[in-house]
Amino acid sequence: MTELPPPEAVIVAGGFGTRLLPLTARRPKHLLDVGGVPFLEHQIARLAEAGVEHIVLATSYQADMFAPVLGDGSRWGVRLDYVLEEEPLGTGGAIRNVAGALTDDPNGAVIILNGDVLSGHDLAGQLADFRAGRNGRRVDVSLHLVEVEDARAFGCVPTDEEGRVLDFVEKSDHPVTNQVNAGCYIFRRDIIDTIAPDTVVSVERETFPGLVADGRLVVGFVETAYWRDVGTPAALVAASRDVVLGTAPTPAVDAVESGARVDPSASVAGTATVGGGSVVMADVVIEDAAEISGSVLMTGARIGAGARITDSVVGPGAVVGEKAVLTEATLGDDATIGASVTLPAGERVDCGEAREG
């Protein structure tokens, strides 16, 4: 038997992050702070832990912002390459577009991650299952699958009793099962070459249904470990809390016993309280008696005395006036909230926008 090359990975990270606006107006969602570090650091650390040595980032939106933050991968002992799509090619087109950066061994295993999923599932186990095959037959693609309560926002993936994928229906109003695509695939290397090059292709709407219809062996890897797509402000802030409080296992950072991660360069008044899994990034200033719970305060944000911020994201450089009240709010970069203003729950304030009482 010839030796298999080590597994490689691709992170598809070219989406606009529309549901995370205004936080994504000036940066890709994949670099937003979750648990105190740019989101992709969780995924890169996990891949490194699973034995991956080479990771390719498929980028498009704000592509030049990735390398200055993540570098060449040496921090994690991996080689990190960046491949740019001038025009976004869709999830399938993005995967096909990085083929030239991957091994050309047709039997290589390529792990593909949606770049916005925080997951504790057993990646090494999924890889072993992929390589084990089924009844002497090689697996073409393995899909990590999870159960959700409402499957409408996801790819719905029914399987048979042996775990073989029967269909793939992306975002339907009437999902036939609550078992959904969790956004971690393992492709055999030669399957990637079956995707049309230089073409906009959706892996969910075209490639997966096509592979199943062609009788390819697509299998599900069902897991119940921690899993969350961080694609909305509510999910981002929940994921960040989960990392800080240790509910979400990640090799990228340690959980914090005090219940909050505060950057050493931040200035927090002694009478202020910061807890509930909050993250306070660099150069943030929090004044007297402010109460911060379950929130993310990004670099350089300023919080006035007596302000109350709960389950919210305060973007870089945003200013919250004294006694203002924010609940499940999202403030874009440099937004300002006047003194004593109470925002309606779930409110979003654009970059640079001012709200007065």
Is 231 near Mg ion (CB under 5 A)?
yes
Question: Could you tell me if 144 and 182 are in contact, meaning their C-beta atoms sit under 8 angstroms apart?
Answer: yes
**91 or 250: CB nearest ligand GDD:** 91
Instruction: Give the integer Cα–Cα distance in Å for 48 and 53.
Output: 6
- 277: tokens are 């899994």
- Measured CA distances, 148 to 91, 140, 154, 243 (Å): 22, 25, 9, 20
Partner interacting with residue 90 (select from ligand GDD, Mg ion, none; CB below 5-8 Å by kind) = ligand GDD
Partner interacting with residue 129 (select from Mg ion, ligand GDD, none; CB below 5-8 Å by kind) = none
Closest separation in Å from C-beta 88 to ligand GDD: 3
Closest separation in Å from C-beta 49 to ligand GDD: 20
**81 or 116: CB nearest Mg ion:** 116
Residue nearest to Mg ion as judged by C-beta position = 231
Integer distance in angstroms from the first to the last C-alpha of the chain?
72
Partner interacting with residue 115 (select from ligand GDD, Mg ion, none; CB below 5-8 Å by kind) = ligand GDD
Partner interacting with residue 352 (select from Mg ion, ligand GDD, none; CB below 5-8 Å by kind) = none
Q: For residue 355, with 0-12 CB atoms within 10 Å meaning exposed, 13-18 middle and 19 or more buried, which class applies?
A: middle
**194 or 232: CB nearest Mg ion:** 232
Residue selected from 116, 140, 204, 287 as contacting Mg ion according to rule CB under 5 A: 116
Closest separation in Å from C-beta 117 to Mg ion: 7
Task: Give the residues across from 267 on adjacent strands.
Answer: 285
**225 or 285: CB nearest Mg ion:** 225
Closest separation in Å from C-beta 63 to ligand GDD: 9
Closest separation in Å from C-beta 138 to ligand GDD: 24
If you search the block for the tokens 């269909």, which residue do you land on? 167
Q: How many residues bind Mg ion (CB under 5 A)?
A: 3
**116 or 287: CB nearest Mg ion:** 116
**114 or 293: CB nearest ligand GDD:** 114
Partner interacting with residue 14 (select from Mg ion, ligand GDD, none; CB below 5-8 Å by kind) = ligand GDD
Q: For residue 187, with 0-12 CB atoms within 10 Å meaning exposed, 13-18 middle and 19 or more buried, which class applies?
A: buried
- 74: tokens are 């040496």
Residues 272-281 as b/e (b if ≥16 CB within 10 A, e otherwise) read bbbebbbbbb
Beta strand 273-275 with 291-293: parallel, antiparallel or unpaired? parallel
Instruction: Give the integer Cα–Cα distance in Å for 33 and 110.
Output: 27
**94 or 290: CB nearest ligand GDD:** 94
Closest separation in Å from C-beta 34 to Mg ion: 13
**59 or 240: CB nearest ligand GDD:** 59
If you search the block for the tokens 């609550």, which residue do you land on? 178
Q: Which amino acid is at 50?
A: A
Is 155 near Mg ion (CB under 5 A)?
no
Instruction: Give the integer Cα–Cα distance in Å for 336 and 240.
Output: 23
User: Which positions touch ligand GDD (CB under 6 A)?
Assistant: 12-15, 58-60, 85, 88-91, 94, 114-117, 154-155, 170, 180-183, 204, 229, 231
- 95: tokens are 């995967």
Instruction: Give the integer Cα–Cα distance in Å for 32 and 55.
Output: 20
Residue selected from 33, 140, 223, 229 as contacting Mg ion according to rule CB under 5 A: 229
Q: For residue 68, with 0-12 CB atoms within 10 Å meaning exposed, 13-18 middle and 19 or more buried, which class applies?
A: exposed
The contact set with Mg ion (CB under 5 A) reads 116, 229, 231
